[in-house]
Structures are given as C-alpha cells and as structure tokens.
Amino acid sequence: MLPNEPSRIALIGAMPEELSAVLACMPEAHCENVAGRQFWVGHLQGHEVVAVLSGIGKVAAALTATVLLEKFQVKRMLFTGVAGGLAQHVSVGDVVVASELLQHDMNAEPLFPQYVVPLSGCAKFKTDEDLTRILLESARHTLPQVQVHAGLIISGDQFVASASESLRLQCALPEALAVEMEGAALAQVCRDYGVPLCVVRTLSDRADDEAHIDFPKFVKEVASHYSVTIVSEFLKRLPT
C-alpha cells in the first residue's frame, strides 16, 4: 500500500499517444499493474501523480477511477482526451473544459426522467469549480491561439460518427458542447467518493460522417501536444 499523501492527483487519458507524452516528463515513475492497466506513480511539477490510460467507454473509465481511489488513494482527478464537437460554435482544434457532464445514453424512463442516473437524483454531474477554473486558465494561458470553451460535455458508449446522430444529440441536448465516451462515468464515481474532478477535451472531429477520417491523424499530431502542455501548466498552478 502506498503512503497516503493528501495531494496525490490522477492524470487519466484515453489515448496511448497522450499518456506517453505525459510519461516522457516523468522519467522516474514506476509502474504497478492492476486490472490489466498500468498505473504510473511518480512526480510532475512537484506533485505526486498517478498516470493511467482509462480504456475507452464508461465502464472502463469507472473501473479505472475506482482503482485510482481505492488502491492509489488519489485525492483529485484530471482527465484529458479528445472529443467530437456538437454545438454549432465549436470547431475541430478547439479545447473544451467540462463544467458539467451527462450520460446521453442513460434512459430509465418511465421510472426516472431521461438522463437521470437512477437513485442518484442527478443527470448533470458538476466538475470541481476550483480545479476547473485552474484548468481553464491553464488552457487559455498556454494555448492563446486556440478557442477554449467551458460547458456541458456529454458521454455515452458510442463513437458518434454520423451527421444524423450528431444532429439528434444537438436537438436533444442543445447546451452540449462536445461528445465523448468516459467523462460522465468518471464524474459519477468522483461524486460518490466526494473527490474533485476536472475534464479537458480537444475537439478531434465534428461527430459527423467525417469523424472516423479526422480522428487518428488529429490525436497524433495535435491532441497529444495540447494535452501535455495544458497538464504541465495546470500542475504548475495547482496548490499542493
């Protein structure tokens, strides 16, 4: 068991390209294998961090978060990744910081209203205000040429890659800025544990018929760079 440091923070990514950019800054990190995942424990910008790939989708993300909390005793979490843009005013290459997260494929009607996680009384899960503010400032400071938005991000077990599905989601959830596959699951776990979470996503596609074409190239060439830049600045600004 690791010593219980109050400040330990989890850095979670969905994509190997992103995690390897972070790990390159943590040469002394050691690896622990749990549930088929590699948890890298080390230091970055003076913070004790645990860096890990969440896997893709809500179950993989929820499992990863639970292991981080139970086995590695992290006290806060930062997720970085890519997402599909939904709102009309967001574009590929923009950065979106989540102020709240919702599972767009949660529907236990008529027992509970659509999107409400049964028995939680909650559809939109808020991210931590302080961490989110620091994350937003870090993104705006380090990427001044990039449009940085804050708002609702929606998650579901579906890679949205058609204009019709994207339109359906935009009509159903007009405030949603972006769609991805992990964030709202992390938010639900973090809420249950009372642990602060923040989430940043670079828009890799428009969640439309071109999404599968744009995606791999973008992750490699742009998102990994954005992610490591924002994470470094975030940790510099974060109180220990």
Q: Which residues bind ligand SAH (CB under 6 A)?
A: 14, 56, 81-84, 159-161, 179-182, 204-205, 207, 211, 216
CB atoms within 10 A of CB 205: 23
Smallest distance, Å, CB 92 to ligand SAH?
10
| DSSP 8-state secondary structure symbol assigned to residue 194 | T
* Shortest Å distance, C-beta 231 to ligand SAH: 17
18 catalytic residue (yes or no):
yes
CB of 98 to ligand SAH, least distance (A): 12
Least distance to ligand SAH, CB of residue 21, Å: 16
DSSP secondary structure, 110-175, as one string: TTS-TT-BTTTTBSEEEPPHHHHHHHHHHHHHH-TTS-EEEEEEEE-SS----HHHHHHHHHH-TT
**Catalytic residue from among 48, 128, 182, 205:** 205
- What gap in Å lies between CA 203 and CA 179, rounded to an integer? 9
- Kindly tell me which of 48 and 180 has the beta carbon lying closer to ligand SAH: 180
Which active-site residues does the annotation give? 18, 205
